[in-house]
Amino acid sequence: NTTLSLLYQDLASTEAGISSAPVTINAHQGELACLAVNQQGTMVATASNKGTLIRVWDTTRRAQLVELRRGSDPATLYCINFSGDSEFLCCSSDKGTVHIFALKDTHLNRRSTCVFVDRFSNMGFLGNYVESQWALANFTVPPECACICAFGSRSSVIAICLDGTFHKYVFNADGNCNREAFDVYLDICDDDEF
């Protein structure tokens, strides 16, 4: 069991010569692959190298707030980011999908709707798979091309990919996600041209 150790300290109320012990959170069974802290320092999101689950933790209570499912296939996560108000979280992976999850109103996130899955989950066959929350919304970017994603203004998510593409999508509480902007900022050329 690999654990994630966090040192959480309010820097506004520190005193010289006084230190705090690190907080230990048992985040995932595998190695940690991606990590994000919200702007307020009250939440941390973690993902293992398997890349299927993202767990969001309360840093003051040291408790898991929610478990979010990116997908069922293993993936390499490139980025996890909180919105400025910590109501949403986005992530990108090598699967070519940017996922957007609701954190404040988690009922907005999708859940399993398959009758077969629901029936067998009651028998314990599928464990936490069915209980996980799936993305509220998502959009695609070039697969296997590393990209970072972050929240913009007015319910928008921006993704910038290593191939030079810029993607801006606007999402709503119904899970609709529409492209608002796209551009290519890098021209691929030989070094001799510089």
User: Which pLDDT value is given to residue 67?
Assistant: 93
Higher pLDDT, residue 194 or 185: 185
Give the tens place of pLDDT for each residue, 101-117: 999 999 999 986 554 44
Q: How far is CA 6 from CA 23, 82, 114, 177, in A?
A: 5, 18, 38, 34
Q: Which tens digits make up the pLDDT trace of 106-165?
A: 999 998 655 444 555 455 545 555 567 999 999 999 988 999 999 999 899 999 999 999
Q: Contact at 8 Å (CB) between 59 and 4?
A: no
Q: Where are the domains of the chain?
A: 30-193
Q: Which CATH architecture has domain 30-193?
A: 7 Propeller (2.130)
Average pLDDT, the chain: 84
